[in-house]
């Protein structure tokens, strides 16, 4: 990764004049300064203007959340991977190689990130731009907490609470209605090189809600929950269900899977229990998570 380019003194002065900064602490317990609220994020206690007007999001998941809680009109720019919703203001901004100059050109009074790539949090902090670092959630509760943080930061606490409550209820109903999952095996494909997930990952925990058994757990070594399976191992495990999360990135589908050497004999292929997921929904653990859970639940109920 290339480091964030150093900004010249003249640029820094100009941007600091444009950006909405936070005042000095006033000891009122509401924030770090007058007219601010304090939000606890991964980068600590962040003082955010009480009325945020210009948000830049460099996280597809958080972009979806911002629009879902009604903060869309406050969003002035999002990264190039924030493809949903369609009306999100996508710009030539990268979350993988963030550039401070490019970000502050939009005069944000709040920047939302999921990764601190190339020290961008510190770079923006020097310019007095509030940054919320909300990493990829590790479980459902963490996802809900991050949505709550965004609601607090943007003045949409009530909407964020409603979103979380609705998501929680929807997921619970779907899981309760799916009775055939317990003990059945599955394989979740991330790409056509057989990279997958184990039960300890976020998506693995979602499958775990249904009582499904992950064939990758026995293959896990020191891969951080994302092992690459061998073709031989996968064929031997012969999962009951196969979920493809590489339909967009890698053009995979049930027909393509059936043509792989040896795969025509897998029970999931023979029983037509190969499920084509939407890559984005399966990798962005935000407001559309209940949709993913419904797809999984329906596949379980319809499976042989």
Which structural domain, as residue segments, surrounds residue 132? 9-158
Q: Has residue 166 been placed in a domain?
A: no
How do beta strands 241-244 and 185-189 pair? parallel
Largest CA distance in the chain: 69
- pTM here is 0.87
Domain count, the chain: 2
How do beta strands 110-113 and 131-133 pair? parallel
Residue 75 in contact with residue 91, Cβ under 8 Å? no
Q: Has residue 23 been placed in a domain?
A: yes
Are residue 25 and residue 78 in the same domain, yes or no?
Answer: yes
Per-residue pLDDT tens over the stretch 74-86: 999 999 999 999 9
Q: Has residue 3 been placed in a domain?
A: no
Are residue 131 and residue 191 in the same domain, yes or no?
Answer: no
Give the separation between CA 188 and CA 137, rounded to whole angstroms: 19
- What's 222's DSSP letter? S
CATH number at residue 208: 3.40.50.1980
Closest CA to 120 of 79, 86, 83, 82: 79
Are residue 22 and residue 104 in the same domain, yes or no?
Answer: yes
Are residue 47 and residue 122 in the same domain, yes or no?
Answer: yes
- CB atoms under 10 Å from CB of 101, counted, come to 16
Per-residue pLDDT tens over the stretch 132-158: 999 999 999 999 999 999 999 999 999
Q: Has residue 4 been placed in a domain?
A: no
Q: What is the pLDDT along the chain (304 residues), one digit of tens a residue?
A: 333 333 333 333 233 333 333 333 333 334 445 699 999 999 999 999 999 999 999 999 999 999 999 999 999 999 999 999 999 999 999 999 999 999 999 999 999 999 999 999 999 999 999 999 999 999 999 999 999 999 999 999 999 999 999 999 999 999 999 989 999 999 999 999 999 999 999 999 999 999 999 999 988 776 789 999 999 999 999 999 999 999 999 999 999 999 999 999 999 999 999 999 999 999 999 999 999 999 999 999 999 8
The DSSP secondary structure of 200-234, one letter per residue, reads TSHHHHHHHTTT-EETTGGG-SSSTT--B--HHHH
Q: How many CA atoms lie within 13 A of 108 on its CB side?
A: 28
Are residue 144 and residue 265 in the same domain, yes or no?
Answer: no
């Amino acid at each position: 990764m290339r480091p964030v380019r150093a900004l010249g003194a003249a640029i820094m002065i100009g941007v600091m004049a444009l950006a909405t900064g936070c005042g000095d602490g006033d000891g009122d317990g509401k924030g770090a300064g007058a007219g601010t609220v304090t939000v606890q994020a991964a980068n600590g206690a962040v003082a955010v203007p009480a009325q945020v007007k210009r948000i830049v999001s460099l996280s597809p998941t958080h972009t979806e959340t911002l629009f879902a809680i009604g903060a869309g009109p406050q969003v002035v720019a999002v990264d190039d991977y924030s493809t949903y919703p369609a009306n999100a203001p996508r710009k030539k901004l990268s979350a993988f190689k963030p550039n401070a100059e490019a970000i502050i050109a939009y005069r944000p009074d709040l920047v939302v990130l999921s990764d601190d790539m190339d020290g961008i949090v510190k770079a923006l902090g020097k310019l007095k731009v509030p940054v919320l670092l909300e990493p990829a959630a590790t479980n459902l509760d963490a996802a809900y907490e991050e949505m709550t943080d965004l609601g607090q930061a943007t003045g949409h606490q009530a909407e964020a609470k409603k979103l979380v409550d609705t998501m929680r209820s929807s997921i619970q109903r779907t899981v309760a209605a799916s009775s055939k999952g317990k003990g059945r095996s599955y394989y979740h494909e991330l790409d056509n090189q057989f990279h997958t997930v184990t039960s300890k990952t976020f998506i693995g925990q979602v499958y775990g809600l249904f009582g499904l058994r992950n064939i990758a757990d026995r293959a896990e070594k020191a891969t951080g929950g994302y092992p690459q399976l061998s073709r031989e191992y996968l064929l031997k495990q012969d999962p009951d269900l196969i979920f493809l999360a590489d339909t967009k990135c890698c053009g995979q589908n049930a027909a393509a899977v059936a043509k792989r050497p040896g795969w025509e004999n897998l029970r999931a292929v023979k029983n037509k229990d190969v499920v084509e997921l939407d890559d984005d929904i399966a990798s962005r653990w935000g407001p559309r998570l209940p949709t993913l859970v419904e797809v999984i639940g329906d596949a379980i109920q319809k499976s042989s």
